[in-house]
Amino acid sequence: MNNFSDLPLADIHLPEAPGYWPLAPGWWILLGLILLVTVLIYIWHKRKQRENYRRKALIELQKIKLESAQDTETFLQAISLY
């Protein structure tokens, strides 16, 4: 019979616990998509805000034009207030 204690075997070693970093490629893609969506929402919000300001300015300009349609001096004075 063979004696197993004579065989050159090593003890069983458990692998190290996986670390948090570096992340797997899927997590990097998810982080990139979150960043991209955040930037796109910010750009969209700024454009919408700029369009609202532009629309309000055009409405005010139309009001001023209607109020001082005949008098150029009054029109220029009203514009300089804004």
Cα 1 → chain centroid: 72
**DSSP code string of 11-54:** PP-PPPPPPS-SPPHHHHHHHHHHHHHHHHHHHHHHHHHHHHHH
- How many C-beta atoms surround the C-beta of residue 74 within 10 A? 13
Q: Are 75 and 64 in contact (CB under 8 A)?
A: yes
Question: Does residue 1 register a pLDDT over 70?
Answer: no
Q: What is the pLDDT of residues 5-55, one digit of tens each?
A: 777 778 888 888 888 788 889 999 999 999 999 999 999 999 999 999 999
Separation between Cα atoms, residue 47 and residue 55, nearest integer Å: 12
Range 60-75 average pLDDT:
78
Question: Does residue 82 register a pLDDT over 70?
Answer: no
